[in-house]
Amino acid sequence: MTQEEVLTLLLVAPLLLLQSLFLFTDARKRGHKYWFWGLWGLIQCPVPLLFYFIFARKIFSEKKKIEEELK
């Protein structure tokens, strides 16, 4: 391995591990399929994180918008 490959690996590996850990713990706390999110978080970055926020956490839900308008 070249020096650049080693440095890239040292930067990417912790990023993927942290993302996976966050997805696993947050999905477990909220009752989603936590094993799926944790494993998917190890594969690539940041697509699983974006999909988790959009589909599992539903940050763009209509209910939230209505509640915010009522405040």
Range of the domain at 17: 3-70
User: What is the residue type of 14?
Assistant: P
Split into its structural domains, the chain has a count of 1
CA-to-CA distance for 18 and 36, rounded, in angstroms? 15
Confidence of residue 61 (pLDDT cuts 50, 70, 90): low
Cα 6 from Cα 40, distance rounded (Å) = 23
DSSP class per residue in 12-60: HHHHHHHHHHHHHHHHHHHTS-HHHHHHHHHH-SSHHHHHIIIIIS-TT
Torsion of CA 63, 66, 70, 71, to 10 degrees: 70
pTM for this structure? 0.76
**pLDDT tens for residues 5-20?**
999 999 999 999 999 9
